[in-house]
Structure 1
Amino acid sequence: MKADSQNVTDYTNDNTIFMVWDFKDNLDVKDVFSKLCKLLINLNNSVNVRFPVSRASCVMGIGHDAWLRLDLPGPLPKELVNFTPIAGSKHRAVSTRGDLHFHIRADNTSICYDMASAITDVLSPVAVSTEEIHGFRYWDSRTILGFVDGTENPQGQDRELFSMVGDEDAAYKGGSYLFVQKYVHNLTSWKELSTEQQEKVIGRSKANDIEMADDVKPANSHIALANVGDDLKIVRDNMPFGNMSTNEMGTYFIAYASTFTTVQKMLNNMFIGSPAGNYDRILDFSTAKTGSLFFVPTFNMIDDFSA
């Protein structure tokens, strides 16, 4: 990870809190945002000193409209836009508002809670929390659907290559594009499938996470459509979540990328299909409830924002 970059290259942790905040209308939010930037730097420094083995961090992303409202530097990151919905023949990737996104993680749940609480104390006078997901590691990094998630993630130094902006946008080098979707699973329908049928939906074996051979893997399997080439990868930090009382079980999809174009290609393959109509079969069991794009600035930029 570059010295001044936020922690977008770390591997998934045991506990995570994802928060999306939207600024209230007709309020001056710049002073609060300045305080928030100071807080973000403090939180990350503090947990690294107090809990050096907890792998704790808090990553902040900023949406397109918030960037403009806060009068942050221009021109904007080249691909920072409001996400446009993607409508396939059967399924839709929705677009939802998001001014600020926080990705809080640590081995200890208490650390996550305290960081979320501190952020809330600062933001609540001028903003509303529209989404809060408490993610957790499910067994050996599986989704609630029972399959291992993130096997195709880049490893080692490749995580920096695929997750951070490079010289192509020098003003924002070391930053990252952050795209998130909250997926809710229809577990009743999913459990009606046999293990063999589920494996054909995913494109991998369920027990030992082995990818199907190309001549066996269905063309509409998740693996076949979501992987768009070895030169076009993202760093996924997906986490499962679940609420028994509301029967809302799902996966919070979170992608850090050097370019949003890569994520866009993946989403087009999944929702429209490749070719068109050959959509990702997993969408018959997983519904995207949100969809927002953010930019993750470096700590140097956040320090400038706090002035």
Structure 2
Amino acid sequence: MHDEAWDRTPIEPQSVDAPLSTSAIFLVVTIADGAEAADRVRDVISDIGGLVRAVGFRDLGGHLSCNVGIGSAAWDRFGQPSRPAQLRPFFEVRGPVHTAVSTPGDLLFHIRSERADLGFELERLLLGKLGDDVTVVDEVQGFRFFDSRDLLGFVDGTENPTGASMARSSIVGDEDPDYAGGSYVVVQKYLHDLDAWGRLTTEQQEHVIGRTKLDNVELDDAPEGQQSHKSLATIVDANGVEHDILRDNMPFGRPGQKEFGTYFIGYARELWVIEQMLRRMFLGDPFGDYDRILDFSRAVTGTTFFVPSNDLLESLAG
């Protein structure tokens, strides 16, 4: 268990625990080779707050925000004297049937707002400032779907921590004092086979997810054998302590291209919690009894980042 020292830290995190928005943009880029490109990019991201304020001031009710995550390789290129204790690349998890792939990414921009045009304008200006120093490797526009459901029809993010536990689950504390106020974040883009999913009965779908579809009531865990997605994604340590993460998943899709998906984004105080969750999902517990949601949802990206505190992000400027 962590002590309560985190609650006394004066360090200001980025907007990790902002409320669920109506729209979001998930932008992952790589940085061009060379020290000069890295220096220019570092200067741009250190002033992201100014850019957010310039766009967001047009409608304060739009609640525009942007979290900046820095990948392991990019962190080394920014010339910092040390590294966050758990920052490392996303490790591929190759299961008996499905694989959590690892894909490139130096920077993550998680843009949230209540108006899609505010997010669009921020992304446009941001990419204009970054110019040829970055290459976009993934860009997803997410949206809130009815009562916070995913495209599989189930409410998503029900088990998110609330209140003070939200920060304790997602924000680094005194255990890594140089990086207190930061957060580890893992992103994965999942594509759904809605035709195959739709061939299941509602009862079969509920068994896969571990909740009722209509009213989102949690089902009991299976006493043995195949576990639900809900059970496999719950992490309990050897002392019986449950470890939470903060999810801000969003549906996305292009019906004309038959593309339907969920963008998973998980913020965590301790990266190992998300890594263990993915191992349980893709490998199974016991091995082979993998998460059956993966038969209908295929992971096509996977990248890890560290979201520094606002103070540390601003200090990156050359």
Give TM class, smaller chain: over 0.9
In 2 relative to 1, CA 218–199 (structure 1 residues): closer, same or farther, beyond 3 Å?
Answer: farther
Q: Secondary structure at the match of 1:159?
A: helix
Matched, 1:281 2:292: yes
Alpha-carbon distance in 2 for matches of 1:228, 1:186:
27
Structure 2 counterpart of 1:188, which letter? D
Residue 23 of structure 1 and its aligned partner are, at CA, apart by 1.2
Moved more, 163-172 or 46-55: 46-55
Give 1:296's aligned residue: 307
What is the identity, as a one-letter code, of the residue corresponding to 1:69?
R
| Mapped partners of 1:47, 1:122: distance in 2 | 14
When the two structures are superposed, what TM-score results if normalisation uses the length of structure 1? 0.95
What CA distance in whole angstroms lies between the structure 2 residues aligned with 1:145 and 1:152?
A: 17
Aligned to 2:99: 92
Is 1:200–1:218's contact at 8 Å kept on the other side of the alignment?
A: no
Is 2:242 aligned against 1:231? yes
User: Residue 35 of structure 1 aligns with which residue?
Assistant: 43
Match of 2:133 among 122, 126, 129: 126
TM-score scaled by length of structure 2: 0.92
Q: Which secondary structure state, in structure 1, belongs to the residue aligned with residue 132 of structure 2?
A: coil
State the 1:118 CA deviation.
1.2
Counterparts of 1:196 and 1:185 in 2: how far apart (Å)? 19
Mapped to 1, the partners of 2:200 and 2:224 lie a distance apart of 17
1:119-268 correspondence to structure 2 within 5 Å: 119-215=126-222, 219-229=226-236, 231-268=242-279
Superposed structure 1 runs of 4+ greater than 4 Å apart: 47-50, 215-218
Report the AA paired with residue 60 of structure 2: P
Q: Distance in 2 between matches of 1:116 and 1:263?
A: 27
Deviations 1:121-164 (A, max 9, x none): 01221111111000000000000000000000001111100001
Aligned length: 306
Aligned residue in 2 for 1:61: 69
C-alpha separation in 1, matches of 2:11 and 2:49:
13
> Contact conserved, 2:30 with 2:136, CA < 8 A, in 1?
yes
Partners of 1:195 and 1:5 lie apart in 2 by 41
In the aligned structure 2, how far is the partner of 1:144 from the partner of 1:262? 25
CA separation in 2, counterparts of 1:244 and 1:49?
Answer: 33
Query: Any unmatched runs of 5+ in structure 1?
Result: none
Q: State the AA in 1 paired with 2:32.
A: K
- Structure 1: how far apart are the matches of 2:52 and 2:26? 16
Q: Amino acid of the residue matched to residue 299 of structure 2?
A: A
Moved more, 221-230 or 188-197: 221-230
**Separation in structure 2 between the aligned mates of residue 193 and residue 231 of structure 1, nearest angstrom:** 31
Structure 2 residues without counterparts, runs of 5 or longer = 1-6
**Deviation for aligned residue 1:75:** 2.0
Deviation at 1:24, TM superposition (A): 2.0
CA distance in structure 2 between the aligned counterparts of 1:132 and 1:178, rounded to whole angstroms:
17
* Shift in Å, 1:26: 4.0
CA RMSD of aligned residues (A): 1.8
**Residue identity opposite 1:141 in structure 2:** S
Q: Secondary structure at the match of 2:61?
A: coil
Distance in 2 (alpha carbons) for counterparts of 1:109 and 1:70: 31
Any conservation in 2 of the 1:163–1:257 contact (CA below 8 Å)? yes
Q: Does structure 2 retain, via aligned residues, the 8 Å contact 1:222–1:282?
A: yes
Preserved CA contact (<8 Å) 2:249 2:262: yes
Aligned equivalent of 1:305: 316
Paired-residue identity, %: 41
The answer on whether the counterparts of 1:217 and 1:224 sit within 8 Å (CA) in structure 2 is: no
Instruction: Tell me, in whole angstroms, the C-alpha distance in 1 between the residues paired with 2:189 and 2:145.
Output: 17
3-state SS in 1 of match to 2:96: coil
CA distance in 2, matches of 1:15, 1:32: 29
Q: CA deviation at 1:68?
A: 1.1
Distance across 2 between alignment mates of 1:38 and 1:164? 20
Residue identity in the other structure for 2:131: S
Paired residue secondary structure (1:83): coil
Shift of 1:48: 5.8
- Could you tell me which of 62, 70, 79 is aligned with 2:78? 70
1:53-85 deviation digits (Å, cap 9, x = unpaired): 3222000000000111222x2321011111110
Whether the aligned pair in 2 keeps the contact of 1:47 and 1:57 (CA below 8 Å) is no
8 A Cα contact 2:29 2:107, kept in partner: yes
> How far apart are the structure 1 equivalents of 2:11 and 2:55?
16
| Contact 1:218–1:224 under 8 Å retained in 2 | no
Are the aligned partners of 1:64 and 1:294 in contact in 2 as well (CA < 8 Å)?
A: yes
